[in-house]
């Protein structure tokens, strides 16, 4: 039998409702959760039973490893998955930081982190933090206004780096020499979801602190 994944262990540890009779048998017979079982288990428990308190040490460790603000990573996790390590989005994003399968492939290929199981909390956090840092470094920083770099990084995390670069170029087209773009300058050229996402995560970051 394979070892129970950290993601499922966290979910069960945070549970404050009776465990349905089928769960122990499910765990005993299958071990680590797969995508099909994730939908099943998540449907019983809802989106946030693992909770931020149980995940705080893992979030802090992953953030420190990549030199990120703990509060920023906690804000992204809260926004993306509601602290549910087994969350799956309608478009297939998985785990705490809602990594898409192609993003996981890119992270593994780059050697940034090893994400073999996106539903494992520690692996997902390691991959998500590395990717967040990578996006921050990939911004055209000479074109970004001071203090706006993390807003645009979050826009790239949600809406894609290529889209953010195009939005910056559009915002600065015809601008004076040595211009720099802010989030406000590019937001109109981003998807409506990203327009909501960036201020929401920034507000959560303020709540969770540095």
Catalytic residues: 80
What SS3 state is found at 1? coil
Strand spans (E) along 37-174: none
Q: Which helix (H) or strand (E) holds 107?
A: helix 101-110
| Dihedral over alpha carbons 161, 164, 170, 174 (to 10 degrees) | -90
User: How many other CB atoms sit within 10 Å of the CB of residue 195?
Assistant: 18
Q: Which helix (H) or strand (E) holds 156?
A: helix 149-159
What span, in angstroms and rounded, lies between the C-alpha atoms of 46 and 144? 39
């Amino acid at each position: 039998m394979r070892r129970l994944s950290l993601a499922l262990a966290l979910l069960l540890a945070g549970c404050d409702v009776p465990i349905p009779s089928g769960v122990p048998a499910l765990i005993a017979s299958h071990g680590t959760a797969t995508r099909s079982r994730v939908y099943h288990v998540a449907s019983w428990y809802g989106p946030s039973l693992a909770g931020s308190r149980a995940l705080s040490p893992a979030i802090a460790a992953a953030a420190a490893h990549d030199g990120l603000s703990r509060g920023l990573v906690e804000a992204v996790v809260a926004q993306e998955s509601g602290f549910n390590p087994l969350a799956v989005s309608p478009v297939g994003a998985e785990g705490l930081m809602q990594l898409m399968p192609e993003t996981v492939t890119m992270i593994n290929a780059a050697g940034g982190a090893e994400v073999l199981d996106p539903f494992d909390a520690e692996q997902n956090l390691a991959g998500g933090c590395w990717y967040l840092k990578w996006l921050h470094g990939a911004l055209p920083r000479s074109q970004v206004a001071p203090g706006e770099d993390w807003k645009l990084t979050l826009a790239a995390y949600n809406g894609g780096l290529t889209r953010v670069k195009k939005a910056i170029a559009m915002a600065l087209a015809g601008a004076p020499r040595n211009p720099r773009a802010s989030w406000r300058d590019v937001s109109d050229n981003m998807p409506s979801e990203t327009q909501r996402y960036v201020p929401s995560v920034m507000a959560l970051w303020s709540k969770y602190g540095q």
